[in-house]
Amino acid sequence: MTSLTEQQNVADFYDFEAALTEEERKVLLRTRAFMRDEVQPLVAEHWADGTFPMELIGRFRESGLVGLSYEGYGDHGPVASHLLTGMMAMEMSRVDASVATFFGVHNGLAMYAIHACGDQAQRDRWLPGMARMDAIGAFALTEPLDGSDIAAGMHTTARRDGDTWVLNGAKRWIGNATFADHIVVWARDVDDDQVKGFVVDKGTPGFKAEKIAHKTSLRIVENADVTLTDVRVPESDRLQNASSFRDVAEVLRATRSGVAWQALGVMVGAYELALRYATQRQQFGRPLAGFQLVQDLLVKSLGNITSSWGMLHRLAGLQDAGVFRDEHSSLAKAHVTARMREVVAWSREIFGGNGIVLEYDVARFFADAEAIYSFEGTREMNTLIVGKAITGQSAFV
C-alpha cells in the first residue's frame, strides 16, 4: 500500500511529478512528509496568534531540505534542479504559505544574494552555516517610502569611512529580520550613487528590527520595520560582486520564479480543501460536488493549476539551461499569482459561510494569497517589465 506521502498530489492532474528523477522524487516526498508531520500541526494556532514557531528552525535543520540549490554548501550531494526546488516551494505553500515564505527569504533571497553577489571567501564564510540553518538570513530592500520604485528611490545610504561603511536609513517589510543572524541590506553609496549590498549581523549597534503587528496575510512569518542608525559594517562584509541595482535585479529574477511556485502551492492547497469539502458537505440532499455550478468552480481551479504548472515547468527548464531572462520570471510571477487569486476565491466560495472561519483552513489560504500577489514585485511592476521587453517601450513613469 502506498503511504500518504507517496500518494500523488490530486491537483497534479497531468502528473508533472513524473518529470522528476527518482532521486528528486525522494526529496519531494521528504518535503511533503516534513510539511505534513512537522508544520501542518502548528499552523492553525500560530496563524491565529500571529507568531512564528521557533521550534521549526531546529526541525528544518534536521530535515536536510535547506541549501539544496547551492553546490558545495550543505551535505546534500549534487545541486538540485530548478524543477525540484520549485516543486519543493509548491509543496511547502500547499501546507502553509507563511512557512514557505520564511524558507524562501532564508534559502532564496538571503542565501542567493550572498551566492550571486558575494565573492568566494564570503560564500565560504556565510553559506555553510546558513545551509545548515545554524544561522538565519534576511533580505532588506524595500523602504517605508519606496516599494515599487526602490531602484530609483532608495533612501538608505552607505558612506565609506576608511575600512568600514556607515549605513543610515529605514527598511520595511523585512521577513525574518526580527531574529535573523545575517541581514543583507541594500544601500546607496553616497559617493558614486550606486546600490551596494552589506551583510549586517544580528546585534550590530544601530540596527533595530521591530515586528509589524496586525497583518491580515502571512501572519506566521515575521516582517519587520528596520532602522539603521550609524550602523558600521567592515568592507569585508560588503558583497564584493554587487556594484549596482542590476545585481539586485539578478537576485529578484531568480526568487520571483520561486514566488510563482509558491503561488501554485497556495492554489493546490486551497483546491484540495475545496474538493474535499464539496464531496462531504450536503445541500438539497446531495453533495455540493454533484452540482454543475460547483463542478465549474472546481474545474476552472484545476485548469488554473495545470496551466500554471506547465508554465513553471518550462520556466525551470529555461533556468537550468541558463537562458532565463527577467521578463520570463516576471510573466510567471504576474500570471500565476493572478490565477492564484481566482482559485483561492473560488475555493472559499465553495465553503460558503464556513469559508471565512479559520477552523476550515481555506480562509488562511485566501488571506495569504494577498501578500504573495503583492510582494517581490506587484502584478503591475512585473507586467511593466514584460511590457518593456515585448514592446521596447519603458512605461514605468
Ligand X SMILES: Cc1cc2nc3c(=O)[nH]c(=O)nc-3n(C[C@H](O)[C@H](O)[C@H](O)COP(=O)(O)OP(=O)(O)OC[C@H]3O[C@@H](n4cnc5c(N)ncnc54)[C@H](O)[C@@H]3O)c2cc1C
List contacts with ligand X (CB under 6 A).
105, 139-142, 147-148, 173-175, 218, 223, 371, 374-378, 380-381, 396
Give the three cell numbers for residue 82: 530548478
Give the separation between CA 40 and CA 223, rounded to whole angstroms: 21
**Rounded to 10 degrees, what is the CA torsion of 231, 233, 238, 243?**
40
Would you say 171 and 231 are in contact if contact means Cβ atoms under 8 Å apart? no
Choose between 29 and 249: whose C-beta lies nearer to ligand X.
249
Choose between 74 and 108: whose C-beta lies nearer to ligand X.
108
Q: How far is the CB of 189 from ligand X (least distance, A)?
A: 18
End-to-end CA distance of the chain: 59
Residue 337 vs residues 263, 264, 313: alpha-carbon distances, Å: 6, 8, 16
Choose between 274 and 384: whose C-beta lies nearer to ligand X.
384
Give SS3 for 171. strand
Q: How far is the CB of 134 from ligand X (least distance, A)?
A: 20
Choose between 66 and 140: whose C-beta lies nearer to ligand X.
140
Q: How far is the CB of 48 from ligand X (least distance, A)?
A: 17
Choose between 146 and 189: whose C-beta lies nearer to ligand X.
146
State the sign of the Cα–Cα–Cα–Cα dihedral 291, 293, 297, 299: positive
Give the three cell numbers for residue 52: 512564528
Choose between 12 and 370: whose C-beta lies nearer to ligand X.
370
Q: How far is the CB of 303 from ligand X (least distance, A)?
A: 26
Would you say 108 and 67 are in contact if contact means Cβ atoms under 8 Å apart? no
Give the three cell numbers for residue 108: 532564496
Among the listed residues 250, 304, 248, 329, the one whose alpha carbon sits nearest the alpha carbon of residue 86: 329
Point out the residue whose Cβ comes nearest to ligand X: 147
Choose between 62 and 149: whose C-beta lies nearer to ligand X.
149
Give the three cell numbers for residue 27: 526529496
Q: How far is the CB of 261 from ligand X (least distance, A)?
A: 16
Q: How far is the CB of 324 from ligand X (least distance, A)?
A: 20
Q: How far is the CB of 173 from ligand X (least distance, A)?
A: 3
Q: How far is the CB of 224 from ligand X (least distance, A)?
A: 9
Residue 348 vs residues 48, 75, 213, 342: alpha-carbon distances, Å: 18, 41, 25, 10
Residue count (the chain): 397
Choose between 98 and 301: whose C-beta lies nearer to ligand X.
98
User: What phi and psi, each to the nearest 5 degrees, are found at residue 58?
Assistant: -65, -35
Paired strand residues for 168: 157
Among the listed residues 15, 22, 11, 28, the one whose alpha carbon sits nearest the alpha carbon of residue 88: 28
Choose between 29 and 170: whose C-beta lies nearer to ligand X.
170
Would you say 155 and 235 are in contact if contact means Cβ atoms under 8 Å apart? no
Give SS3 for 288. helix
Q: How far is the CB of 335 from ligand X (least distance, A)?
A: 15
Give the separation between CA 123 and CA 73, rounded to whole angstroms: 9
